[in-house]
Amino acid sequence: MAPLLLPVLLHALLLLLLAVADALPPSCSESEVVTCAGLVVRYPFRLDSSASHCGYPGLDLVCEDNATLILPVKSHRYRVFRIDYTAHTVVVSDADADEYAVGCPRLRVNLTIDTASSWLQLTQSDSNVTFFYNCKKNISWSSAVELIGCRQDGKTSYALPDGWITGAEAYEYECEEVVVAPVLGAHKKVIAGAPGSPPPGIGSFAELLQGGFELNYDTHSQLCDGCERSGGWCGYRHNQTNGGMNFTCFCDGGPATARCDFSPSRLAQLMRDGLDTNTRHGSHPFIILDKKEWSVWKSTEIVPSRGTLLRLDQPKA
């Protein structure tokens, strides 16, 4: 082989390998169940040990000794103890609340979420409790509860179940720190009790914080549903132009922006799957096609089995 041809062939081989690798689905699959602390972790979440395209940026989870699942938010640790993949919600608690389960419920940071760019948002199920730490002056509000276990050097700490307070008000009582903590509203109602009832104790606030709060995560579910129905797998790829992440539908024939091209072979497989699944349950198979899939079916010689029902989905407005 001529020496000059070798670099050309190597370059061509490299391009071929890159093209093949780009066409393949990621090395992670929703069929692979990953668990930590008894919780299933799958798309759009991913463990930090998984490939970066296996989940959304910002939804990386950390599994600590297979006993605690952590969601890092701005370098702070939040313990995950429930993920609802149907409702697209996750319930978390400030990891500091576990550390101070006995004694003073000492929180260090306010939860800060950029509503414009974050995939995580607080839900309507949440409420707030404001904590005042190491105040030189006594707080006179009737709803403020003194945290007995937090007394330090003659300074007093309080919890205000009513929620928000201005910085000027906090400064008035010469408090060293004020932390606003999201909590589940239903839990707060139980802790606060009926009007006129005794104020909650310090243990009640620790329990309230450990009960956590709810976050909603944006899953681009319509895109994902369309991708999966076309036989693809939902994922993300790095955008080489702006450095961001683009939603990608990984298909047998290569990546697509939203869904895989619907082929006659894919339709035949859908019909076979529908026939096998439904006849086992004693019912007729029911195949749902969108407008594009219906056009493909009409242009083929695929004949549905007797009893198979085909329905054309109306496109959404």
Amino acid at 268: A
The whole-number average pLDDT for the span 156-169 is 77
Predicted TM-score (pTM) of this structure: 0.66
What's the rounded Cα separation, in Å, for the pair 76 and 97?
Answer: 12
For residue 176, pLDDT beyond 80: yes
For residue 277, pLDDT beyond 80: no
Q: What is the mean pLDDT of the chain?
A: 73
| Tens-place pLDDT, residues 17-42 | 343 334 344 445 554 568 999 999 98
Angle between helices 185-192 and 202-210 (to 10 degrees): 170
Take residue 73 and report the two structure tokens written for it. Answer: 């938010």
The whole-number average pLDDT for the span 256-267 is 71
Collect all residues with Cβ–Cβ distance below 8 Å to 129 and sequence separation of at least 6: 159, 160, 161, 163, 180, 181, 183, 188, 205, 208, 209
Least-confidence region, from 44-48, 156-160, 268-272, 273-277 = 273-277
For residue 125, pLDDT beyond 90: yes
